[in-house]
């Protein structure tokens, strides 16, 4: 069986990666799973400078998943390049860095640095606030996505560029087209849905930041729909994520049009979720006599 996939020039041994923000830089999970078995690791969101993140509480469980408002806490790209990347490079897996910023200038400066590092690709996180535009999100409009992607593309000239989109829009196809038109090599979908949980005794939100990103099994139908819509609207590969817990979930995303998938909150529920997902994909292929995993991509037959 062939489980290899090509995600916009990133050739992976299997279609399973781990999603940004749920796997750190891999050190903790390496105590539980063999990182060599993963198709790829998408790092924690990395910024130009150190970010302390939001004040706690920053995480809470909800029915069907969890809410988080970490605030992109990370040590900054220089620390990553000096300490985390050399450690990650010991493993036989692809390394994709999730890049985040607050302004276009920050994205550009960050990606100038990433362009020089020994990494396999960049996932551009466009759910961060655009401070100069009144804290609006870059990723909600065609023009917004196109503007920042075009600026980054100019300096990121030798790494595949995957743009990660928010589902908190009316029509996710428009931002996806903006990314493609600006030169992105792939689309990553979806990021978390915006949610809130209230402590009914205190009558106050549980998260210190009031709202947070909703992820987990309950978001999967939304994510599958978004992947299907994007895959049928653009001509670049889609990395699908949102609520994947099993091999069957991953197969569903691929049939919808995803070339590869990412495991997010599932890593918290069970550190071995990614490995079990890889095994589940292989079991599905054996059961249905599928020789090449690529043959199922985008094969959904709509009613």
> Annotated catalytic sites, by residue?
128
| Nearest residue to 196 via CA among 303, 32, 60, 96 | 60
Helix (H, G, I), strand (E, B) or coil at 209: coil
Residues 6+ apart with CB under 8 A from 31: none
CA atoms within 13 A on the CB side of 239: 37
| Distance of alpha carbon 155 from alpha carbon 245, whole angstroms | 36
**What residue has token string 């299997």?**
14
Torsion angles phi and psi, residue 4, rounded to 5: -70, 140
Torsion angles phi and psi, residue 29, rounded to 5: -70, -20
Q: What are the structure tokens assigned to 299, written together?
A: 């094969």
């Amino acid at each position: 069986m062939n489980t290899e996939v090509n995600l916009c020039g990133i050739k992976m041994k299997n279609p399973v990666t781990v999603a940004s923000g749920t796997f750190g830089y891999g050190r903790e999970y390496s105590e539980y799973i063999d990182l060599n078995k993963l198709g790829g690791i998408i790092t924690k969101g990395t910024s130009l400078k150190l970010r302390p993140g939001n004040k706690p509480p920053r995480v809470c469980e909800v029915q069907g998943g969890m809410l988080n408002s970490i605030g992109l806490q990370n040590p900054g790209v220089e620390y990553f390049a000096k300490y985390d990347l050399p450690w990650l490079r010991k493993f036989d897996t692809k390394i994709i860095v999730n890049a985040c910023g607050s302004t276009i200038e920050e994205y550009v400066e960050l990606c100038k640095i990433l362009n020089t590092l020994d990494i396999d690709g960049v996932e551009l996180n466009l759910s961060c606030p655009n401070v100069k535009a009144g804290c609006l999100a870059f990723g909600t409009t065609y023009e917004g996505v196109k503007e920042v992607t075009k600026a980054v593309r100019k300096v990121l000239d030798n790494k595949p560029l995957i743009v990660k989109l928010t589902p908190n829009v009316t029509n996710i196809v428009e931002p996806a087209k903006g990314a493609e038109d600006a030169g992105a090599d792939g689309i990553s979908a979806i990021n978390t849905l915006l949610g809130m949980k209230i402590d009914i005794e205190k009558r106050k939100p549980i998260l210190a930041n009031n709202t947070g990103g909703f992820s987990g099994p309950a978001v999967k139908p939304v994510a599958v729909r978004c992947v299907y819509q994007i895959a049928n609207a653009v001509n670049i590969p889609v990395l699908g994520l949102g609520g994947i817990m099993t091999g069957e979930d991953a197969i569903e995303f691929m049939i919808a049009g995803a070339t590869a998938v990412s495991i997010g909150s599932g890593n918290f529920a069970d550190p071995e979720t990614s490995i079990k997902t890889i095994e589940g994909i292989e079991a599905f292929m054996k059961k249905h006599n599928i020789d090449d995993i690529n043959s199922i991509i985008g094969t959904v037959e709509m009613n």
